[in-house]
Each structure stands twice: as C-alpha cells, then as structure tokens.
C-alpha cells in the first residue's frame, strides 16, 4: 500500500504542472480589464475599461491611417465615434428640482451649434460645466448642477427662483422678478394678481430694498397692490383698497413701521383716508376721504 500511495502523489504533482503549463494567456485588453476591475466594482470598472479602450483604439486608428495632422480634432472625432459604438451615447436627460422649467427649455439650453441635440451625443463629449452655465442663463434658474451618469444619462438638478413681484417696464410689459431684482420671465399680469406690481422705475433693482422690507412685514405687504416709483428717488404704496401711502427717500423701514402702528396692515386707515404722507420723519399728513 505505501508504494502505491507514493506513485499516486507523484502523478498528482505531474498533472498539476501540466495543467499550469496549458493555462490560457490573457490578451492585453483582458489584462487591462482585470487590473482596472480590481480598483473598483460594477459600472465604474466597466466605464474605466471602455474609456481606456477608446483611447487605445483612437491611437491605433491614427497610426494605421498615418493621420497626425490636426491630431486633436481627429482624436476627438474618433473617440466620439468609439464611445457611441460602445454604448456611451446620451439617451436620457433627467431633471430634478423643477416646478416651472419645461423639458423643452432644458433641451434647447443643452443644444450645441455644431453637435446639435444632446441626445445621441457621446457622453464623453458632454461638457458638464458648459452645460451648467447654459442652464443658469435661464430666467427661472437660480443655480444648477450637471452630472454625467454612465453609460448614457445627463442628470440636471436646479434651484428655481422665487417670484417676489411684477415689474412693469417702460413699454408696459410685465416681468416676474425675485428679491435680487433678476428678471425671471415676461408674463401676463392677470396670471399673478397675488404679487405686487413695481411701476415707474427705470430698473427693478431700485425697488429691491423696499420689497425686502415689505416681505419682512407680511401683514402689511398682503394689502399692497402697487409700488410706484417717483423719479427713482422714493416710492408710493398703493393699497388694494385704494389707499395710498407716500414714503420718504432712503430706507423705508421706519415709515413702514409707522404704517403698521397706524393700522395700515389691517385696512383701518383706508376707511377714512385717501392717503397718508410720511415723507417727513417727524410728521404725518393725512388727507380724509371726500364725503
């Protein structure tokens, strides 16, 4: 029995050596894929391999064709084609955080004069920073973030502006503005009757300090219909019940506090007065309603 056991062990060693000798040799791309896969997992490794393969393929094609003039343009074109062939082509655009923006506005913002629509474009050639800047030029967008999600998605997150008032320009058109004075969109005034109208000012920015002060006094603000600029120096407040308050130049906070103290936020002043003049910080001139 012992001699038999020894021969069996020797044959086992020989078999193992032969098995190792016949092991299949890995190709260059297989070794590349294996090495990259050890660094990451799932989609990340596949994407890394794909990008590496695209780069190698582009160089090989250039060398085979002998094309090294305009090499930057040629590599860009070849890598784009290779990326599409490997499935890295944009087929989906996702949008998060939008209540007012339409998909059409986003798609138009992402269009390129040469490449056209972002759909069908190589994801490798989508410039996320350039796309972000284009989207932030849209009136409703306060800030945006753009991500490339491999293998085929462009994801966009936006923070939209909050309308604070309507600004009437010199031509009589109405524009939504926020509390920074940024024009959001031109709109029909009948669609936003809940917002104050800023009129008579050369630019919306001149009314921003007053609008900000009114937003800090919501009860008073809810009764204001029109913020009328007088020579871009000061403002009159026209209330929804046909009562007017003439404000002084400079910071409006003290005058608004006086209005609140007199009951303007409850509508009491409008019952007996046509207007109140608060341009003098020490005095208030009252004009009673005509009988």
226 and 147 together in one domain: no
132 and 174 together in one domain: no
pLDDT tens digits along 154-174: 999 999 999 999 999 999 999
Residue 21 within a domain = no
170 and 240 together in one domain: yes
CATH of the domain at 226: 3.40.50.11690
In terms of pTM, does the model score above 0.85? no
41 and 117 together in one domain: no
- Which pair of structure tokens corresponds to residue 28? 């260059």
174 and 257 together in one domain: yes
Residues 6+ apart with CB under 8 A from 22: none
Q: What pLDDT score does 33 carry?
A: 52
Q: Which of 138, 160, 182 is the last residue of a domain?
A: 160
Contact 148, 122 (CB under 8 A): no
Other C-beta atoms within 10 Å of 43: how many?
11
Residue 17 within a domain = no
Domain range enclosing 135: 92-160
- DSSP letters, 74-102, are HHHHHHHHHHHHTT-B--EEEEES-SS--
241 φ/ψ angles, rounded to the nearest 5 degrees: -110, 30
d(CA 53, CA 285) in angstroms, rounded, equals 81
Residue 253 within a domain = yes
Contact 48, 40 (CB under 8 A): yes
Q: How many domains does the chain have?
A: 3
Contact 284, 273 (CB under 8 A): no
- Which pair of structure tokens corresponds to residue 173? 């058109």
pLDDT tens digits along 114-160: 878 999 888 888 899 999 999 999 999 999 999 999 899 999 999 99
Residue 273 within a domain = yes
Q: Which of 103, 136, 160 is the last residue of a domain?
A: 160
Residue 61 within a domain = yes
Q: Is 171 helix (H, G, I), strand (E, B) or coil?
A: coil
d(CA 264, CA 274) in angstroms, rounded, equals 12
208 and 282 together in one domain: yes
Residue 9 within a domain = no
């Amino acid at each position: 029995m012992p001699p038999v056991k020894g021969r069996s062990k020797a044959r086992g060693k020989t078999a193992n050596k032969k098995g190792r000798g016949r092991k299949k040799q890995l190709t260059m791309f297989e070794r590349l894929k294996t090495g990259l896969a050890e660094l990451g997992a799932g989609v990340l490794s596949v994407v890394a391999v794909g990008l590496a393969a695209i780069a190698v393929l582009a160089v090989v094609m250039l060398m085979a064709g002998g094309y090294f003039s305009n090499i930057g343009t040629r590599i860009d074109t070849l890598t784009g084609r290779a990326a599409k062939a490997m499935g890295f082509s944009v087929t989906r655009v996702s949008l998060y955080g939008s209540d007012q923006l339409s998909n059409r506005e986003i798609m138009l913002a992402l269009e390129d004069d040469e490449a056209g629509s972002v759909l069908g474009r190589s994801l490798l050639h989508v410039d996320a920073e350039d796309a972000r800047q284009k989207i932030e030029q849209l009136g409703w967008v306060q800030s945006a973030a753009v991500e490339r999600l491999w293998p085929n998605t462009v994801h966009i997150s936006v923070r939209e502006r909050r309308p604070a008032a309507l600004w009437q320009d010199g031509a009589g058109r109405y524009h939504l503005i926020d509390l920074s004075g940024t024009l959001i969109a031109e709109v029909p005034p009948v669609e936003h009757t809940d917002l104050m109208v800023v009129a008579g000012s050369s630019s919306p920015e001149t009314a921003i300090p007053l609008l900000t002060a009114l937003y800090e006094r919501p009860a008073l603000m809810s009764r204001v219909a029109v913020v009328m600029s007088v020579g871009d120096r000061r403002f009159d407040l026209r209330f929804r019940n046909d009562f007017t308050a003439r404000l002084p130049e400079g910071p409006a906070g003290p005058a608004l506090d006086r209005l609140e103290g007199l009951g303007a936020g409850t509508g009491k002043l409008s019952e007996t007065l046509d207007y109140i003049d608060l341009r003098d910080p020490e005095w208030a001139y009252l004009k009673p309603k005509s009988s």
